[in-house]
Amino acid sequence: MSLSNQGLATASDEVFMGTYARYPAAMISGRGCRLTDADGRQYLDFLSGIAVCSLGHCHPEVTRTIQEQAAKLVHVSNLYYTEPQTELARLLVANSFADKVFLANSGAEVNEAAIKLARIAAGPGRYQVISLAGSFHGRTLATVAATGQPKFHEGFEPMPDGFVHAPFGDLAAVKALINEKTCAILCEPLQGEGGVRPLPPEYLSGLRALCDQHELFLIMDEIQTGMGRTGTLFAHEQLGVTPDIMTLAKALGSGLPIGAMLATKEIATAFTPGTHGTTFGGNPVAAAAAVTTMKIMLDDGFLPLVQSKTRYLEAQLEELVSRFPKLLTGVRGLGMIQGLVLSEAGVAVGGAIVKRMFEQGCLINFAGNAVLRFLPPLIVEESDIDEFAAILSQVLNEF
C-alpha cells in the first residue's frame, strides 16, 4: 500500500463499503487549524471534523491526557467505577441544568438513549416523539425516524413507529400533533445538517410552554451546538429555554468518540439497572479527554474569546454577501457555526464551490442544499479567518 493520497484511496476503496463520497485526500496529521495529507499538502480546516475538533487538531493538553490515561487504563466494563467518567459526569452536572448523566459513544447513541428515557419515564402508552422538518438526529433506525429529512429514510422503510415531524418554525403545527400518545418534543437549537437554521428564541419558548402544558419532555439535541460552539457552553443558555433532557457528543472528547445524555433527577430515575447500557460508553481514555476538553473551555476568557471571534467571522461573511449578491443572499448561524445562504444560482454551484475550496486548500461543506457551512475550530485566530475569507472570495469570484 502506497502512503500517498492515491495509494491510500485505492486501498481503502477496495475494502470499505461505499457509504462516503470522499475527497481525494488521505489526512495523516493535524495541528491546530491545519491538516496535512499524505502528499504533504496542507489545508485550512473550517469544518473541524464536522464540529468535533473544536480545540483544533492534537491540542497539546488533550493529547497529553490521552497518552497518560492510555498508559494507566484503557477499558473496564461499566460493572465498575472509574475516575475519568466520574469526574466528567460531575463537571457536566456542575455546569448544566442536569442532575444525572449517561455516557455513550456517539450522538446517535445518546439521542437513542434520550428517546428511550423519555418513553419509559412518560409511562405506558406514551411513546410518540415530535421532531422538526429539516432536523438530523442520527443514523440508527430510531434516530433516522426522528430525523425530519425523508432522504435519510429512503431504502430503510418502514420506519419505527412513534415519530412525527412538524414543519420548521410552526408552533401551531406542533400543538396540533400532540395527543395522548405523545411523550416528548425533540429539537436542535440550530439545525446544522438542515442548513444552519437557528430556531427563533420565541419558538423555543413556545415549545417549552407546550411541554409544560401537556406534561411532555423537551429534549434538546446539542450534539453540534454544544461544548462552546455557539459562544456559551450550551446553546440553550443564551436562548432562555431549559430542556428536560439534553444530548452532547461531537466536540465533547476533542476527537475521541464519546457522547453524553443529561437529565433532571426526576426523569433519570426511570432508568434502573438493566433498562439501558453500553459496553464502551464512558471509556476511561475518551472520558479523560472530555474532562480536559471541558476544563479548557471553562477557563476564564475562553468562551468570551469565541464570542469575539464570532463577531469577526460574521463581519467577514457579511462583506462577502455584499460583494457577491448573485450567489449569496445572507448570513445565518449562531456562534462559530455559520452559513452563507446561497441564491438559486448559488445553490446550483454549491457543491462545486466546496470542491474548489478544497482544491485551494480550505475545508468547508454544503449543508441542507442551501448554505455553505463553516465550523472552524474555536481556537481559530483572526489571521486564519482572514486567510479563509480571502480564499473564499477568490473562489466565489470564479463563479
Domain ranges of the chain: 5-59+302-398, 73-298
Q: Using one digit for the tens of pLDDT, what is the confidence trace for 67-86? A: 999 999 999 999 999 999 99
Q: Which residues are annotated as a binding site?
A: 107-108, 136, 139, 221-224, 278-279
- What residue has cell string 475550530? 377
Q: Which residues are annotated as a binding site for pyridoxal 5'-phosphate?
A: 107-108, 136, 221-224, 279
Q: How would residue 140 be classed by pLDDT, with cut points 50, 70 and 90?
A: very high
**What does the angle CA 213 – CA 123 – CA 221 come to, to the nearest 5 degrees?**
65
Beta strand spans in 272-384 (E):
328-334, 337-342, 362-363, 365-367, 371-374
User: 105: Cβ–Cβ under 8 A, 6 or more apart, which residues?
Assistant: 257, 258, 259, 278, 280, 281, 283, 286
Average pLDDT, the chain: 96
Q: Using one digit for the tens of pLDDT, what is the confidence trace for 87-135? A: 999 999 999 999 999 999 999 999 999 999 999 999 999 999 999 999 9
- What residue has cell string 406514551? 126
Q: How would residue 386 be classed by pLDDT, with cut points 50, 70 and 90?
A: very high
Q: How would residue 3 be classed by pLDDT, with cut points 50, 70 and 90?
A: confident
- Across residues 8-16, what is the average pLDDT? 93
Q: Is the pLDDT of residue 8 over 80?
A: yes
Is 5-59+302-398 in CATH node 3.90.1150.10? yes
Which numeric CATH code is attached to 73-298?
3.40.640.10
Q: Using one digit for the tens of pLDDT, what is the confidence trace for 201-241? A: 999 999 999 999 999 999 999 999 999 999 999 999 999 99
Q: Which residues are annotated as a binding site for N(2)-acetyl-L-ornithine?
A: 139, 278
pTM score, whole prediction: 0.96
pLDDT at 213: 98
Distances (CA, A) of 353 to 192, 330, 340, 359: 19, 16, 12, 10
Q: Using one digit for the tens of pLDDT, what is the confidence trace for 188-202? A: 999 999 999 999 999
Q: Is the pLDDT of residue 1 over 90?
A: no
Percent of the chain with pLDDT over 90: 98
Q: Using one digit for the tens of pLDDT, what is the confidence trace for 267-315? A: 999 999 999 999 999 999 999 999 999 999 999 999 999 999 999 999 9
pLDDT at 164: 97
φ, ψ at 337 (rounded to 5°): -125, 100
User: Residue 143 has what DSSP assignment?
Assistant: H
pLDDT at 2: 66
